[in-house]
Amino acid sequence: MEFGLATSSFLGTQLIPATLLSKRARALCLTVTATGGSRNNKVYTRLDSCLVIPPPTKFKKPRAIVKFLGGAFVGAVPELTYSYLKELLAKEGYLIVSVPYNVTFDHEQAAKQVYERFNSCLDTIVSSGIPNSNLKPEDLADLPLFSVGHSNGALLQVLTGSYFAEKIPKVNAIISFNNKSATEAVPYFEQLGPLIQQMLPMVEASPVYEMARNASGDVLKLLLDTAGTTILNNDQEALKSFTKLVDQLPSVFGEVGQGVSEFRPSPLENRNCFKCSYSVPHTLLVQFNSDAIDETDLLEETLKPRIDSIGGTLEKVRLNGNHLTPCIQDPKWQIGSVYSPADAVAQALKTIPLSETRVLSRTIVDWFRRFEN
C-alpha cells in the first residue's frame, strides 16, 4: 500500500493511505507557506539563527519579546509549521523570535543551545534594531521577555527556566507538555537500534533523500505541484526550510543505531530539576481535550511547590483541540468555477481547527497581558 501523508512528531508517525486522499485533499494537507498565505509577503526576518516576526506598524513599539519553540522535528522549520499561531500573536503587538532546533536525544544540550542562540539574537536585536522594519534599538530596550513552547519545545522552555537564573522569561506559556521516556513514547524502542543501524546507509544513499537535500527550486516545485499545490519559482526560503526538515533524519537514526535508547536527562531527572530550580515566576499550562500524549497534569503537580516558594503564579487551562492544534495552518483553498462538495468539506475541515488555534492564541495573549507592566 502506498502511504501519502505522514503526521509526524518525535513520539510517533501516523500514516494515511494515499489512495484515501483526493488531489485537492492532498493539496490542503501539503500546502506550506511562510505567511499562512502568499509567499510574496513573507512576514519574518532571519537574524543569526533565529526567525523574527515584528508586530504590525500600528504599534509604536512591541508589547513584549516572545521566544517561541516548536515541537520535535517541526521545531526545525517554525516558519512552515507554526506560521499561523505566530502571526496571530504578532498581530496582538508582540515581537516573536523563533529559535529553530534539530531533534536530539540530549535535551540538556538542546536547551542550552537554544538558550545561547536566542540570547545571541536578542543582543543583536536590542543593539541594532530589526532590518526592514521601523523598530529601532530604543524601541526594544527594556521590553519584558515572555516565552511559548509546544510539546518538546515546552519541555525545552521548562528546562531553560530550570538551568538558568538570568536572561530567562518573566512569563511562560507551556502548551501540550510532554516528558515521556523514549520507550513509553515508542513501544519496543530499544529494539529499533539494530534495525536503524542497518537502514541508515540506505536512507543516506536513497535518491529521494539526495533529491530532497539537493533539489533545485524547479524540482521542489514539481514535487509540490504534483500534489496539487503551487509554489513560486525560485522560492529559496521554502527550499532551505524543506532541506532543514529532511536533514534531521540521518542524525536521529545515527543516534539510535549507536545504541542510544533513552532521552538525556531522564524524565525523572527532569522533574527533580524542575522541583528544585525552576525560576520563571509566572507560568500558564495549556492542555487540549484530545491529546493522548499530554503530561500537563504531572507538570502542574511538579511545578506548584516550587512556584509557590518563589511567590509566582501557576495556572492551567484546558481547551478544545489536540496535540497538533498549535501547528494548524491557514491554507488558501482555491474554490473551482463550480462550488463542489469537496470545496464544502475542505472549508468545513479547516474552520474548526483554525478557530481552536485562534482560541489558543487569545488565551496566551490574555495571560501575557496580565504581566506586561
The pLDDT of residue 220 is 41
Among 73-82, 96-105, 243-252, the minimum mean pLDDT is found in 243-252
Among 26-40, 99-113, 174-188, the minimum mean pLDDT is found in 26-40
- Does 17 sit behind a cis peptide bond, omega within 30 degrees of 0 on the bond before it? no
pLDDT at 122 over 50: yes
Q: Which CATH class name applies to 45-189+261-369? A: alpha beta
Compute the average pLDDT of residues 219-224. Answer: 43
DSSP E strands, 40-192: 45-47, 50-53, 64-69, 94-98, 145-150, 171-175
Question: Contact at 8 Å (CB) between 313 and 283?
Answer: yes
What is this structure's pTM? 0.74
Instruction: State the DSSP string of 345-365.
Output: HHHHHHHHHHHHHHHHHHHHH
Instruction: State the DSSP string of 268-290.
Output: HHHHHHHHHH---SEEEEEEEEE
The pLDDT of residue 36 is 38
**Residue at grid coordinates 500514516:** 15
CB neighbour class for 215 (10 Å; exposed up to 12, middle 13-18, buried from 19) = middle
The pLDDT of residue 38 is 35
- 304 or 185: which carries more pLDDT confidence? 304
3-class secondary-structure state, position 66: strand
Confidence label for 232 from pLDDT (cuts 50, 70 and 90)? very low
| Dihedral sign of CA atoms 210, 211, 215, 220 in order | negative
CA separation, residue 309 to residues 170, 300, 312, 370 (Å): 16, 14, 8, 21
Question: Contact at 8 Å (CB) between 205 and 316?
Answer: no
The Cα 151–Cα 157 span in angstroms is 10
